[in-house]
Amino acid sequence: MGLALCLLSHLKLYQNMNLATPPVITPESVKVACSNCNLRELCMPAGFNANDMKKLDEIVATRRRVKQGDMLFSNGDAFTSLYAIRTGFFKTCISTEDGREQVTGFQMAGEIIGLDGIVTDHHSCNAVALEDAEVCVMPFANVEDLSREFPLLQRHVHKIMSREIVRENSVMMLLGNMRAEERLAAFLLNLTQRLHARGFSQTELTLRMSREEIGSYLGMKLETVSRAFSKFSDDGIIEVKQRYVRILNTDALKKIFNPETCN
Amino acid sequence: MGLALCLLSHLKLYQNMNLATPPVITPESVKVACSNCNLRELCMPAGFNANDMKKLDEIVATRRRVKQGDMLFSNGDAFTSLYAIRTGFFKTCISTEDGREQVTGFQMAGEIIGLDGIVTDHHSCNAVALEDAEVCVMPFANVEDLSREFPLLQRHVHKIMSREIVRENSVMMLLGNMRAEERLAAFLLNLTQRLHARGFSQTELTLRMSREEIGSYLGMKLETVSRAFSKFSDDGIIEVKQRYVRILNTDALKKIFNPETCN
DNA sequence: ATCACTCCTTGATGCAAATCAAACGATAAT
DNA sequence: ATTATCGTTTGATTTGCATCAAGGAGTGAT
């Protein structure tokens, strides 16, 4: 059984860990409108004609820059808009009063954040920029209005929300059933897959988050994350230097993630 | 600080663990149409006039009975419909090829299942009836068509999906950061809260799932679940006899769930 | 360059939960 | 009633990860 197929039949766990699994795009300069945005294929549904796209441009009210370390929104903030990430990298997290923090996701260009705010009209998590970022502000009222007009957009919005539900299901599997090295393997495979879909290398990446943030997402302590990295490195599966990671043996990672079915 | 408030400020974790936190309803006989359904307040948005409700009845195509142990849908099935639970109790779960299973949720009357299927047009989890059940089959095409007509319904659908995302965020916090007894306390508080919203006792319940299924949901082994039950029982917090549970000290449960802020 | 700070790595030890194991209780079948 | 089956409880032991601790590497400020 081929590895790709093996992983497909196996829950597509690391593939579900991200918000979007879109077509490859090539980086180039862009204009403000969605219709000219090079992230369009990541953010917007396919199948619109030029006229429709014009209308769709109305969905984005403004752009907003967020400096590294700053919050795009935080727990308790009134919900008004969804945000499409244009550049930069975010984490979303929730925390308890006694200081325990859970990272609920990492988001990159082309992905949508803010869905948590719809149900109560207030956000229930924090969205923190892990590097300087720019987002498209999409007032949710616009999204809903245009959704009623364009069934394709409506379906797209539903798919985005459903994808997030399915992703979180996969994270529950990770947290509930997998061991430390399996979790980290799934994490690395997921990250590189998403980066690859954005035109980056499949085997090389620079992490935008600390060991502690990875650990928070994966339900383990930073020391355990570090040890798992070192183990992979000792085994010749990856090369690590601080936040630079080079994957030397993708198949080995896939086997760690899913030892039974890949062989 | 009052306990209710304490928990509100503390992430509302166990409150987020369910799909719906609706108003109390009283059981009585019902007709087939949504407009006459006594679960209407759980399933449908408020604010519709009689005429609107008539149209809304079109959303439900049929009813379907599911016997205990049978699946409403399973991984890989084509997605066509959402399902509103009329009676009975479900679990949703995903599994790996090497046999590890993760329960992703337990659903009761008035809650909606099937959202996972939207993104790929195929379901990615199994929905198993834990007791004989009846569901309203809502073809998703109907849902989308009527959503474009009725902004209130559109918003309602969005809220249901957002609520599920927020619930899963809370489960991630449970799985990533909490200890066995905290998880079980949160689980019991969540279940009783949802049952109470359906007109049942706040302090007494009969579990519909096994220790193993609870454990799968909470990321622990059945023995650990059993031990946690016994511990609560020894401490006089609950009374357990197999699947019957009576909560003797809700405040103590809340303290276990959130030791820091409740005192 | 030096210092301060943050992040990361590695080692030693402790512990919560998993695993292994056995017995018990409830339910259904014969 | 008797047996079989399944779910649950409880005890003994193991183990994977957390915790505690110390030092190293990278980065920015002065």
* Closest chain A residue by Cα to residue B75: A11
Residues with CB under 7 A from strand C: A 207, 210-212, 222-223, 225-227, 229-230, 240, 242-243; B 179-181, 219-221, 223-224, 242
Q: Is A96 within 8 Å of B13 when comparing Cβ atoms?
A: yes
**Does residue A3 have a pLDDT over 70?**
no
Q: Which amino acid is at A70?
A: D
Protein-covered nucleotides of chain C (CB closer than 7 Å) are 7-12, 16-21, 26
The pair of three-digit structure tokens given for residue B158, joined into one six-digit string: 């969005």
* Closest chain A residue by Cα to residue B219: A176
Best of B102, B107, B174 to mutate (most A CBs within 10 Å, chain A): B102
Q: Residue B155: CA atoms inside 13 Å, Cβ hemisphere, count?
A: 16
CA of B69 to C1' of D20 (A): 48
How far apart, in Å, are the Cα atoms of A17 and each of A89, A165, A189, B141? Answer: 15, 10, 10, 27
Best of A101, A155, A161, A260 to mutate (most B CBs within 10 Å, chain B): A161
**Does residue A1 have a pLDDT over 50?**
no
Beta bridge mates, B105:
B92
Best of B18, B140, B177, B182 to mutate (most A CBs within 10 Å, chain A): B177
CB A177 within 8 A of CB B219: yes
CA distance B208 to B87: 13
pLDDT at B6: 35
pLDDT at A15: 73
**Does residue A238 have a pLDDT over 90?**
yes
Per-residue pLDDT of chain B (263 residues; tens, 9 = 90+): 333 333 333 456 677 776 444 444 444 434 468 888 888 888 888 888 888 888 888 898 899 999 999 999 999 999 999 999 999 999 999 999 888 999 999 999 999 999 999 999 999 999 999 999 999 999 999 999 999 999 999 999 999 999 999 999 999 999 999 999 999 999 999 999 999 999 999 999 999 999 999 999 999 999 999 999 999 999 999 999 999 999 999 999 999 988 655 44
Confidence class of residue A259 from pLDDT cuts 50, 70 and 90?
Answer: low
How many H-runs (helices) and E-runs (strands) does chain A carry? 10, 9
**Average pLDDT rounded to a whole number, residues A213-229:** 98
3-class SS of residue A55? helix
pLDDT at B43: 84
CA of B209 to C1' of C30 (A): 28
How many H-runs (helices) and E-runs (strands) does chain B carry? 10, 9
> What's the predicted TM-score (pTM) here?
0.91
Q: Is A104 within 8 Å of B16 when comparing Cβ atoms?
A: no
pLDDT tens, residue by residue, A89-107: 999 999 988 889 999 999 9
Q: What rounded mean pLDDT belongs to chain A?
A: 88
Q: Is B169 within 8 Å of A98 when comparing Cβ atoms?
A: no
Please list every residue in chain A whose beta carbon sits closer than 8 Å to the beta carbon of residue B217.
176
Give the least confident one: A18-32, A102-116, B6-20.
A18-32
CA distance B114 to B83: 6
Please list every residue in chain B whose beta carbon sits closer than 8 Å to the beta carbon of residue A98.
258-261
Closest CA of chain B from A104, distance in Å:
6
